[in-house]
Each structure stands twice: as C-alpha cells, then as structure tokens.
Amino acid sequence: MSLLRSVKGGARAPLVIAVTSGKGGVGKTLTTVHLAVAAQRLGHSVLILDGDMGMANVDVVLGLQARYNIRDVLDGHVSLQDIIISGPLGIDLIPSGSGISSLTSLTYVQQQQIIDQISTIEKSYDVLLIDTGAGISDTVTHFCKAADKVLVVTTPEPHALTDAYALIKVLAESHDIKRPHLMINQTRSESEGLKTASRISEVAMRFLDVQVSHAGNVPIDPQVPKSVMQRRAASEQSTFTIAGQAWTQVARKLLGSSEPSQRVDAQDFWRCLLWQEPVRAEGAK
C-alpha cells in the first residue's frame, strides 16, 4: 500500500486532482502529464482522465494513440476497462474526448453502469489526475467540484491572470471551492512567479474570502516544446530538465499536503461528478 493510501486510513479511493485554467494554452496538459510522471516516480500509481473535450490531447503528449474514448463506452461498444491505455512509465490514461460532456447528462441507468465499471478500475490507483480543459463550462466546473484538489494553472501574462481570477471566483461563488491550489507556469524568474502568485492570493482573499495555496512555479524552458515535438514529454529525462524539476516540486507539494480524502469510497468522485451530489464535508477544499 502506498503512502497516499495509508494516509487515507486504508480507504481505497485515489486522491483526485483536477488541473484546470481560465485561459487556454497555459500548460494544463503538460502540467497533468508531468505531475503524473513525478507522482509515478514518487511511488504512486497514476491514472489520467483526459477531460478536455475541445482539445483532448493527453494521448498525443504521452506519445499514444487512443482507439476508443468515453463516447464508445457510452454507446455501449466497449467497457471502460477496454479504453484505458497504458503509457510510458506505467501511467494509464482514460481518453475521453467529445464524449466527456455527455457524462453529466446521462440517464440514471447509464450513470449506474459507468459507476459500476469505474469502481472496479480505480481501486488500482493512488492518484487520479484530470486535465479539465480551460474555462468555466459545466464540464470543467463539475470535474473541479468532484475532485479532492483543484490546481489552477496560469502564466504571468495579464490575460491569463484575469481569466485565472475569474475562474477562481466562479469556483468559489458557484461551487463552494474555497481552497484552490495555484501554479504559475512559464515564469521568467522565481520572483516573477512569487509576485504573480501573491497578487492573485491577496485579491482572492480580500474580495472572495478564498485561500489560494501556492503550489509552485514552473519556469519557461525550451526543453518543454522540444520534448512535446519529440513525443517524449513523459520520460525519465523530462524530470531532469529545469521545468521537470519544478513540476516534481509541485507534485511533492500537492501529494505531500494530502489531507485525508473526504470521499467514503472509491466510487464517490464519480457519483459526485455524475450526479453532482455534495459527498464531502463542507470546506474540504
């Protein structure tokens, strides 16, 4: 049993982290993949759910080709287990693509079928990472609401910051998510990252009464686009790059600061996602 599971008192529910952003293109997918690599190297088994219906591309970044996705499961062609693909370093992926938005509008019987299938699968994982896609659509906010932790990714660029703040506001005011984590990506210096994070944190505390937790900064690193081009983002080498080391620190922080999951069992994340029921104690995030 891994450290994370024992932290949770033996419950077999994986820690669910939703990686999200206000503005697109700020580095969610790469953050998801690098956090997965880091978590795996720290001894945790990891499943990624590609929840970005507009630009589902975790499979591409992992150097994989998805044959099926959630749509095929909903259409009844294959089981959920059948669509999971194994990536580099033992990271598993549920490719979901355009089917993902349908998850929140299923019939009761369909929901129950998905939940039954999921319960057998997710017991094998310590961490479930979700690349939610950008913005404040229902699919994105549903994922955030159902997750144990929400990681908002932004760059220091003004538009990205404004959109990150707008997302934090919606998550707080409409979905009661009051303790999001924040990662500043593509920073030009550590002080730029720290200043950016404290600006958002101060404004969120002052105007929203939201406590934003700074998960760390990842510098702009020319190795990152190179590794994407070579389809080697999820490799051991990528953890030795400057950005890779920073992502590992972010993973340590997110996994290390694990409060016990509020979810009772492994199915609760999915129940919450599909039914949008409050399954955890208030103020858990």
Ligand X SMILES: Nc1ncnc2c1ncn2[C@@H]1O[C@H](COP(=O)(O)OP(=O)(O)OP(=O)(O)O)[C@@H](O)[C@H]1O
220 is an interface residue for ligand X by CB under 6 A? yes
Instruction: Note the Cα 8 to chain centre separation in Å.
Output: 19
Other beta carbons less than 10 A from residue 168's beta carbon: 26
CB 72 → Mg ion: shortest distance, Å?
Answer: 21
- Listed in order, strand segments (DSSP E) in the chain are 15-21, 46-50, 85-86, 92-94, 127-134, 149-154, 181-187, 213-219
Number of residues in contact with Mg ion, rule: CB under 5 A?
2
Give the one residue of 20, 185, 238, 261 binding ligand X; rule: CB under 6 A. Answer: 185
Asked if 37 is part of the footprint of ligand X (rule: CB under 6 A), the reply reads: no
Strand partners, 213: 181
Check residue 244 for interaction with ligand X (CB under 6 A).
no
**End-to-end alpha-carbon separation of the chain, Å?**
25
Largest CA distance in the chain: 52
Each residue 96-135 as x (binds ligand X by CB under 6 A) or -, in order, gives --------------------------------------x-
Residue 178 per-residue DSSP state = -
Provide, rounded to whole angstroms, the least separation between the CB of residue 29 and Mg ion.
Answer: 3
CB of 65 to ligand X, least distance (A): 18
Residue closest to Mg ion, measured at CB: 29
Burial classification of residue 110, based on how many CB atoms lie within 10 Å of its CB (0-12 exposed, 13-18 middle, 19 or more buried): middle
Of the two residues 27 and 156, which places its CB atom closer to ligand X in the complex? Answer: 27
Does residue 25 belong to the site contacting ligand X (CB under 6 A)?
A: yes
Instruction: Give the binding range for ligand X (CB under 6 A) out of 24-32, 35-43, 73-81, 205-213.
Output: 24-32
Task: Pick from 46, 224, 272, 279 the residue near ligand X by CB under 6 A.
Answer: 224
What is the per-residue binding string for ligand X in 50-89, x denoting contact by CB under 6 A?
Answer: --x--x----------------------------------
228 binds ligand X (CB under 6 A): yes
- Determine if 132 is a binding residue for Mg ion (CB under 5 A): no
Residues in the chain: 285
Contacts of 188 (CB under 8 A, 6+ apart): 156, 219, 220
Strand 15-21 to 127-134 pairing:
parallel
Q: For residue 29, state whether it binds Mg ion (rule: CB under 5 A).
A: yes
Distance in angstroms (rounded) separating the CA atoms of residues 93 and 252: 21
**Residues 140, 152 contacting (CB under 8 angstroms):** no
Which residues sit at the interface with Mg ion, rule CB under 5 A?
28-29
Which residues sit at the interface with ligand X, rule CB under 6 A?
21, 24-30, 52, 55, 134, 185-186, 218, 220-221, 224-225, 228, 243
